[in-house]
Structure 1
Amino acid sequence: MRDVVIIGAGQAGLGISYCLKQQGVDHVILEKGDIGRAWREDRWDSFCLVTPNWTITLPGAEYAGDNPGGFMDRDDFVRHLEAWAKSFDAPLQTHTEVLSVNKSDAGFKLETSAGPMEAQRVVLACATYQHPRMPGFAAALDPGIQQVDAARYRASAALPPGGVLVVGSGQSGCQIAEELNRAGRKTALAVGDTGRLPRRYRGR
């Protein structure tokens, strides 16, 4: 039986693992793909962070590059996570999907794709955005209108010819709309009440 099982090897799961290892706590990270799976598989090709590099202050993995004001792209951030995990020898068990977690007398019993496992404590570090939320009217749209959620979008060239309506003006919507516009697409961005903060004010 493990003291702790962490589900998910993204920045949250790895950060918890780093802290547990500092305290000598026996644990394992279960990841259904590779390190940073969501960053690899659920982000478009040109994705980049919206927080500048200097704000990357993961425990034991603070940014030390030569472009603190820049923004890491998808692949660079995945490499950053991989190097971080390697630096403290994170106890990873990749390509292991957790199928269920149930309370037991001793703690928790997990059913995984690699077999059963028991732990005194379980940490869910797999986020809450695995499944897109589609508006109810989406199913009623003309089937000739292709609908793509942000997790499945990859690049402008992968879409059929014509204009594109991007719904949502958060990080994903704005980045995708900008990419489509630069690719010469007629693009409309449907905005909501997402807040905006300037990076600089009066030159600062």
Structure 2
Amino acid sequence: MEHIDVAVIGGGQSGLATAHALLRRGLRPVVLEASDHAAGSWPHYYDSLTLFSPARYNSLPGMPFPGADRDRYPHRDEVVTYLTAYADRLDAEIRTGCRVTAVRRTGDGFTAELEGGRLSARAVVAASGTFGRPHRPALPGLEEFTGQVLHAADYRSPAAFSGRRVVVVGAGNSAVQIAAELAETAHVTLATRGPVKFAAQRILGRDLHFWTVRTGLDTAPLGRFLARPPAQPVLDDGRYRAALAAGRPDRRALFTGAVGPKLLWPDGQREEVDAIVLATGYRPDLPYLAPLHGALDDEGTPRHREGLATAVPGLAFVGLEWQRSLSSNSLRGVGRDADRVARRLAAHLARR
């Protein structure tokens, strides 16, 4: 069986940043990426996705995000190109088409079981993100609804929904962005449990991220004090608030049930709907860690402190929402968490 220093599971922004940090610590990581491309989930997001932070804040360690306009908001495809180039420049072994099915404890190390083989590692970093585990909440009547139901993970563009009646469920950035886009060619309702909360994209002529970085909020270790990640407001330059005010899309309280193709609204109205898009977020996608006792709680959420597993020495996480700070699962912040995890893993391995 092959033996390696550190198995980094996931070849997206978190895995690439982790590999970079481990190399700086003198370790030789092997990145195991299930897809055929080292860019994580970015190639699979909806076509119009645009970052809510300017290009200047979206760099991984050692390679600035390209482009002359540092204040533009990069498109999805720009991020894919950037991550691909970053992977090409990284002096680490990246194995694509290499899905990890289970990680088990073997002595004081680990065995990673792959589709078609296995390898042993002195340490493991789980950096597989959340896209593979879309959150589908138990909504009233959803099981009885006979129209189309899809998660935002499966949404690409409004072309397939032209002229149709669509309900988008969610109150976050993606929900509002998708609903506003669909409303240009379809009759769309944004269904939420409460009012949509907005935050100004620009304050005193500067992007919000300028202020979070300048004040230290972006890097403050608040994650250790949070029982669960707080809901984030929708960042808006005014267009989304105006779209909702104009009823394109309109906003309603969440439906209360369904009968066949019809949704039941709180005011008693029954309305036929063609499709429901669940923009309801994601959860950590870590089924391969189930054999490691104490790595995950009953809901599959990592047990960790700032990225280090609390019950499994040698196991770490990178890219979790609020892993340590507000920016932990973003391009601008994942490098800091990766460096912290790499430093601690290197110290752990040096003691063995």
| TM more than 0.5 | yes
Q: 1:189 is matched with which residue?
A: 190
- The answer to whether residue 71 in structure 2 is matched with residue 69 in structure 1 is yes
**Aligned-pair distance for 1:50?**
1.6
Unmatched runs of 5 consecutive residues or more in structure 1: none
* Aligned residue pair count: 201
Which of 183, 200, 203 pairs up with 1:201?
203
Q: Which amino acid aligns with 1:146?
A: Q
Q: 2:38 is matched with which residue?
A: 35
**Aligned-pair distance for 1:128?**
3.3
Query: Hey, what's the Cα distance between the residues in 1 that align with 2:97 and 2:118?
Result: 15
Query: Hey, what's the Cα distance between the residues in 2 that align with 1:18 and 1:10?
Result: 12
Percent identical across equivalent pairs? 34
Q: Which amino acid aligns with 2:6?
A: V
Query: Hey, what's the Cα distance between the residues in 2 that align with 1:138 and 1:13?
Result: 39
Query: Hey, what's the Cα distance between the residues in 2 that align with 1:178 and 1:117?
Result: 47
Change (3 A) 1:112 1:50: same
Q: Which amino acid aligns with 2:61?
A: P
Q: Which amino acid aligns with 2:143?
A: A
SS in 2 for 1:24: coil
Map of 1:69-148 to 2, 5 A cutoff?
69-136=71-138, 137=140, 139-143=142-146, 145-148=147-150
Query: Hey, what's the Cα distance between the residues in 2 that align with 1:114 and 1:45?
Result: 33
Q: Tell me the TM-score normalised to structure 2 length.
A: 0.54
Q: Which amino acid aligns with 1:59?
A: P
Query: Hey, what's the Cα distance between the residues in 1 that align with 2:113 and 2:195?
Result: 41
**Aligned-pair distance for 1:19?**
1.2
**Aligned-pair distance for 1:142?**
2.6
Q: 1:9 is matched with which residue?
A: 11
Q: 2:160 is matched with which residue?
A: 158
How much is the aligned-residue C-alpha RMSD, in angstroms? 1.9
Map of 1:36-51 to 2, 5 A cutoff?
36-41=39-44, 43-51=45-53
Larger Rg computed on CA atoms: 2
Unmatched runs of 5 consecutive residues or more in structure 2: 207-352
Query: Hey, what's the Cα distance between the residues in 1 that align with 2:166 and 2:195?
Result: 21
Once the two structures are overlaid, the 10-residue window that deviates more, 106-115 or 27-36, is 106-115
Q: Which amino acid aligns with 1:187?
A: V
